[in-house]
């Protein structure tokens, strides 16, 4: 039984992604900041945060945004949250977070009711997240996934065929491709 939800998003499978904002909206508390966003301080994180903030505004979701340079920044913020009476119900990671043991983090800081959404193309997904928690949803670009060798070889041959066809169209020649 897989408890973590890992979505490999491709152009044909965006339905899981379409459910993120409605889920965050269901979890919000009116008049309170109930969503926390951690965004990496790189190009992907900054751009993702700008877009995500606009989407949250459309849903009237109040949020707090924390740019992070490293995972120590995230730990420091969770330590500070432990001492406060936070109403956070959703935590979103943009460009970071996939490699963190989120299940252990939930237990350590008493966040069992908090749902995590992770959008991180930088590294592998921590295996501990895969076994224990249904409150963790990790989204991964299908093109960046570790695919079986057979699939990669098939994609490479299709790409070569497309490139050959494109170059033939440009030059007007009709060369036969050898098997």
Which pLDDT score is estimated for 3?
36
Q: What percentage of the chain has pLDDT greater than the value 90?
A: 35
Please report how many Cα atoms fall inside a 13 Å half-sphere around the Cα of residue 96, on the Cβ side.
Answer: 22
CA 19 and chain centroid, separation: 13
φ/ψ of residue 137, rounded to 5: -125, 120
The pair of structure tokens assigned to 172 is: 């007007």
CB-count burial class (<10 Å; 0-12, 13-18, 19+) for 153: exposed
Per-residue model confidence as pLDDT tens digits over 117-143:
988 887 777 777 665 457 888 876 655
Contact 138, 4 (CB under 8 A): yes
Distance between CA atoms of residues 155 and 172, nearest Å? 25
Judged on CB neighbours under 10 Å (0-12, 13-18, 19+), 122 is middle
pTM for the complete prediction?
0.72
Write down the mean pLDDT value for the chain: 75
Q: Judge whether residue 177 has pLDDT over 60.
A: no
């Amino acid at each position: 039984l897989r408890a973590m939800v890992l979505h490999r998003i491709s152009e044909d499978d965006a339905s899981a992604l379409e459910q993120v904002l409605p889920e965050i909206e269901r979890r919000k508390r009116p008049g309170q900041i109930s969503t926390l966003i951690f965004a990496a301080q790189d190009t992907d994180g900054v751009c993702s945060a700008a877009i995500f903030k606009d989407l949250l505004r459309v849903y009237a979701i109040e949020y707090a945004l924390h740019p992070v340079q490293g995972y120590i920044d995230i730990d420091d913020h969770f330590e500070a949250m432990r001492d406060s009476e936070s109403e956070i119900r959703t935590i979103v990671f943009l460009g970071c977070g996939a490699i963190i043991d989120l299940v252990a983090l939930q237990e350590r800081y008493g966040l069992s009711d908090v749902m995590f959404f992770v959008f991180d193309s930088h590294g592998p997904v921590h295996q501990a997240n895969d076994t224990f928690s249904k409150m963790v949803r990790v989204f991964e670009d299908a093109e960046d996934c570790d695919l079986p060798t057979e699939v990669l070889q098939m994609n490479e041959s299709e790409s070569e065929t497309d490139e050959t066809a494109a170059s033939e169209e440009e030059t007007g020649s009709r060369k036969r491709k050898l098997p």
